[in-house]
Amino acid sequence: MTDESRGVGGTVGPPWSVDVLADLHAGVLDEHEAAQLWPRVQADPEARAIIEALEATTADLAALADEPAPPMPAEFTARIDQALAAEAASRQAASFPASAEAPAEPGVAPVVDLAAARRRRNKRLGWGAGTLTAAAAAIVALAVTVPGTSTESGTAGVAAPAPAPSVGSDGSGAEALLGGAMGVRDFGPLQDEQRLDACVSAAGLDPDVRPEGIRPVTVDGKPGVLVIYTTGQLAQFRLVAFGADCGPGHADKLFDKVVGKK
């Protein structure tokens, strides 16, 4: 970002730079800057309106993850199916030596059973027209793998996960993570939603309340998960962190605090 108005102690303030507010909302400012800017933003109606719009956009984008993937248009499915069938038929024809084929009349190509070739192709590849979208998604996932990187176990070609950010035992510093965690559903050491629900229930909270964000965090050196809830107040959030040992009957709650506008 190159906006010259950025920087606490400078000219940040009304009229607010959208870039500054976006950086604040995204959690990319350092903890000191964020702590100084949030009270000023919350006290300014124009700035709050921009933050609210950013929050709404983030929530809309997060909701897309729960939407079912639209089916591939029929015309493209048919074209892909035809291309695969033609390739299967070509391979079938090439797999038989000329001596094994029945003599063909001069100038007449051998007849290929397209339906049989398609059945063999589907059996061999395990693909049907209805699963081509999933196969394409897997190819895209492979294409974005970072080359030359590895996981902690040494698997080549797979990027290692970024370390979880650290905050204090009382949650100090967690507010700066708000923007980057909105819409995220990364259960970290808890692994899945069922485990998190058990932790939430053990803490006396309602697991049916959908968090605004879930992300791994390190609290005073202890691995855990930060869960972000709205409070019904604009730009105010409840931050609850659970330790990796939490589960049914054991909340292992590391901190529980409300940040933002009081």
pLDDT digits (tens, 9 = 90+) for 14-31: 777 788 888 888 887 878
Q: Is the pLDDT of residue 144 over 80?
A: no
Amino acid, single-letter form, for residue 208: D
Q: 119 or 159: which carries more pLDDT confidence?
A: 119
As a whole number, mean pLDDT of residues 75-84 equals 79
Q: Is the pLDDT of residue 244 over 90?
A: yes
Q: Give tens-digit pLDDT for 211-237.
A: 989 999 999 999 999 999 988 888 789
Strand partners, 226: 215, 241
Is 135:141 a contact under the CB 8 Å cutoff?
no
Three-state secondary structure string covering the chain: CCCCCCCCCCCCCCCCCHHHHHHHHHCCCCHHHHHHHHHHHHCCHHHHHHHHHHHHHHHHHHHHHHCCCCCCCHHHHHHHHHHHHHHHHHHHHHHCCHHHCCCCCCCCCCCCCHHHHHHHHHHHHCCCHHHHHHHHHHHHHHHCCCCCCECCCCCECCCCCCCCCEECCCCCCHHHHHHHHCCCECCHHHCCHHHHHHHHHHCCCCCCCCCCEEEEEEECCEEEEEEEEECCCCCEEEEEEEECCCECCECCEEEEEEEECC
Nearest to 17 by CA among 36, 32, 31, 37: 37
Q: Give tens-digit pLDDT for 165-213.
A: 898 999 898 888 888 888 889 999 999 999 999 999 999 999 999 898 9
On average, the pLDDT of the chain sits at 73
Residue that is written with structure tokens 């968090």 in the block: 211
Predicted TM-score of the model (pTM): 0.44
Residue that is written with structure tokens 């299967």 in the block: 88
What's the rounded Cα separation, in Å, for the pair 175 and 258?
9
For 105, the token pair is 């009349």
pLDDT of residue 64: 66
Is 188:216 a contact under the CB 8 Å cutoff?
yes
Whether omega for the bond prior to residue 15 falls within 30 degrees of 0, making it cis, is yes
Q: Give tens-digit pLDDT for 94-113.
A: 766 554 544 444 554 444 45
